[in-house]
Structure 1
Amino acid sequence: MASLKDRRLWGYRMVDVAEVVGAVEDDLTALLARLRASGDVADEAMAEFLGSFLGNLAARGSTGAVNVMIRLPLLVHAAETGDPAGGRPAAVVHLLWWAAARYLDDLADGGPEIRADPARFNAGILAALGVGSHLPIRLVGEVGVPDATKVAALAELSRGWLDGISGQLLDYSARPAGATVASVLASYAGKTGAPYAMATAMAACLAGADPGRVDRWRDVGRRFGVLRQLTNDQRDLVTGRDEDIRNGAATFLVMLLLDGVPAAQRSALLALYASAATSAAARAEFKMRLTAPENLRSYHGRVDGMLAEVHGALHTLGGAQPYTAALHALIDEAMLAFPLPAAG
């Protein structure tokens, strides 16, 4: 398979998509202003929550990821209709979903200090629920499309939330000793695949695609979301944060390592991994094993296969050029972030 860099398609004029990305950012600014001016307590709480989320993106180094979140539904809508602008509501909903999900995930990962102010803690949860679910319902209801299309789009929002919750619950209960490569991928398909599936399927709904094509777009989004979770795992290792190792997470790379050794070695690795929570030396040793050439060789082979499957599914969908080519490029571009070393 050609390298990712060889597959990037920069020759297309995508000025209109760049302009629509800017329009989505304008939509968010207008939404904030509208919430702040409404005089409603819930709207004001959601405005504060959303403003904080948008303000923290640069600090978290997440602006590139947000750009991917916005462009994906725009390009899906454009692939169906030749016009990216109709995908703006799906792009806004996608961002609202992630604003809520990231906050709730931070709460789940946080220690007692995050609950030190019960009033603020509880207000944040309520605001997250409003921003991620009820505010998107309001926005979809205002889109100028037939009622049947609105119903279909809202069904994708509901499916995305429920599938995402299922994946996150699997993640909470996953432990390296009992997890498998398959169970981890199932968790990824929910907690990260589901929102990307929602974004692609909702954009296809708004474009007037038939149910069969909506199903196929949802599949592309879910597959892409799994790859985005793998990139997130890579970021943790490449940047040296090593939070997954500190937390003893059952990541895809960890499970490949554990599944690739005999039972006696597996027990020793699990013991080493448990020590990594409190021991810098254990963390360093486990990370060295995790990124050893033989494990990376298995990892890259599996990820390259998943990437090829996404491109294959996207290719069979077809659609309007140059937008389908730009979707292929977007997928490759997103996978270039935080690469792990080549295997040997």
Structure 2
Amino acid sequence: MTIDVGPVHDDLTALVARLRRSGDVADEAMAAFLAAFLGNLAARGSTGAADVMIRLPLLVHAAETGDPAGGRPAAVVHLLWWAAARYLDDLADGGPYDPARCNADILAALGVGSHLPVRLVREAGVPDTTKVAALSEVSRGWLDGISGQLLDYTARPAEATVGTVLASYEGKTGAPYAMATALAACLAGADPARVERWRDVGRRFGVLRQLTNDQRDLVTGRDEDLRNGAATFLVMLLLDGVPAGQRSALLALHASAATSAAARAEFKGRLTAPEHLHGYHERVDGMLAEVHRSLDTLGGAEPFAEALHDLIDDAMLAFPLPGAPVFSRGRRVPAGT
């Protein structure tokens, strides 16, 4: 089934208008920041990704209550988090940005990602105990996300492992998705045990979303991860799969890829070789199957519980690497079926 994301976009547009009317300098700065973010979604080709971010909490709330509408605050908070995080991540990667606006936009990003969500949760029409639990999820999401991003900043292929890279993914991308699912479950009045299980589903899905983002970087030819020397999951699987005597040479090739187009093409060829991607697809397939099994145990109101399965499978079809399977409930199916 299709969940209409329009009302959430309307909520965001109304939020921008409300901030502009307040007359407060901080509100005006956040309004300008948010308007720029919304305008850039299409320019960056991120509209589809934003719709996944929106649909996830709407469907979680609907699975709990039969009604997606109560998940709208969680969907807005999720997008606010990403509006701030993407800007800060762009700064960390060296731009592009206007130095004259940098300091103002950093402050606006902090307000949009941290303080606007608090305001929205406080205004939600739920009991105070629910608001306290929801605010705890926002705080947890930020702290876990910061931890993951700090791990990512310091991770270099020579010292990293597959495990440490996955740990950073669980934070920098898993944490906001975990926040979105747990926040939606809180607003739906789910008990703490179910909230925790929804949080786990969100975190696992967030890791898969980061893997899709890694794939996008390769298949679109941006190759920013290679230019930045990033220790991605795909890179670490490649390094772990070569004999010890070849590791140093492969690390040197990866380092050269940052500045050499020839080295970048050679290393990318190794990353996308069929024999390497076969193992990668097996690992990703297993992760996806785990998310589906968790959703099966959670159950929920139909058709929304089933729509969550569809959302996750559909999201994983974006930017496939060569040899990628078509997914259906975490199982491979022939293409075109």
TM-score, normalization by structure 2: 0.95
Deviation at 1:343, TM superposition (A): 7.1
* Residues 100 and 129, structure 1, Cα contact 8 Å, conserved in 2: yes
Question: Equivalent residues in 2 for 1:143-292 (5 A)?
Answer: 143-292=124-273
CA-to-partner distance for each residue in 1:50-87, whole Å, 9 max, x for gaps? 00000000000000000000000000000000000000
Question: Equivalent residues in 2 for 1:1-344 (5 A)?
Answer: 12=1, 14=2, 17-18=3-4, 21-110=5-94, 114=97, 116-117=99-100, 120-342=101-323
Deviation at 1:107, TM superposition (A): 0.6
Counterpart code for 1:168 = Q
Alpha-carbon spacing, 1:184–1:319, altered in 2? closer, same or farther (3 Å): same
3-state secondary structure, aligned to 2:319: coil
Deviation at 1:226, TM superposition (A): 0.1
Distance in 2 separating the partners of 1:94 and 1:291: 32
3-state secondary structure, aligned to 2:42: coil
3-state secondary structure, aligned to 2:160: coil
Paired position in structure 2 for 1:3: none
Distance in 1 separating the partners of 2:59 and 2:97: 38
Distance in 2 separating the partners of 1:314 and 1:219: 10
Q: Alignment RMSD, CA only?
A: 1.2
Distance in 2 separating the partners of 1:43 and 1:131: 9
Paired position in structure 2 for 1:9: none
Which structure 1 residue ranges, 5 or more long, are not aligned?
1-11
Distance in 2 separating the partners of 1:125 and 1:270: 35
TM-score, normalization by structure 1: 0.93
CA-to-partner distance for each residue in 1:174-227, whole Å, 9 max, x for gaps? 000000000000000000000000000000000000000000000000000000
Distance in 1 separating the partners of 2:79 and 2:256: 37
3-state secondary structure, aligned to 2:43: coil
Distance in 1 separating the partners of 2:225 and 2:92: 14
Distance in 2 separating the partners of 1:174 and 1:285: 22
Deviation at 1:114, TM superposition (A): 3.8
Counterpart code for 2:186 = C
CA-to-partner distance for each residue in 1:4-47, whole Å, 9 max, x for gaps? xxxxxxxx4x4xx31xx211111111101000010000000000
3-state secondary structure, aligned to 2:45: coil
Deviation at 1:116, TM superposition (A): 3.2
Counterpart code for 1:282 = A
Alpha-carbon spacing, 1:94–1:343, altered in 2? closer, same or farther (3 Å): closer
Deviation at 1:115, TM superposition (A): 6.4
Distance in 2 separating the partners of 1:246 and 1:109: 10
Distance in 2 separating the partners of 1:115 and 1:70: 29
Counterpart code for 2:174 = G
Distance in 1 separating the partners of 2:202 and 2:256: 37
CA-to-partner distance for each residue in 1:107-127, whole Å, 9 max, x for gaps? 11115x74632xx21111100
Segments ≥4 residues shifted beyond 3 Å? 113-116
* Residues 294 and 343, structure 1, Cα contact 8 Å, conserved in 2: no
* Residues 314 and 328, structure 1, Cα contact 8 Å, conserved in 2: yes
Which structure 2 residue ranges, 5 or more long, are not aligned?
326-337
Counterpart code for 1:82 = G
3-state secondary structure, aligned to 1:58: helix
Counterpart code for 1:261 = V
3-state secondary structure, aligned to 2:18: helix
Distance in 2 separating the partners of 1:155 and 1:288: 44
Distance in 2 separating the partners of 1:329 and 1:58: 23
Moved more, 284-293 or 193-202: 284-293
Distance in 1 separating the partners of 2:259 and 2:209: 29
3-state secondary structure, aligned to 1:87: helix
Counterpart code for 1:332 = D
Deviation at 1:247, TM superposition (A): 1.0
Q: How many residues align?
A: 325
* Identical aligned residues as a percent: 84
3-state secondary structure, aligned to 1:176: coil
3-state secondary structure, aligned to 1:57: helix
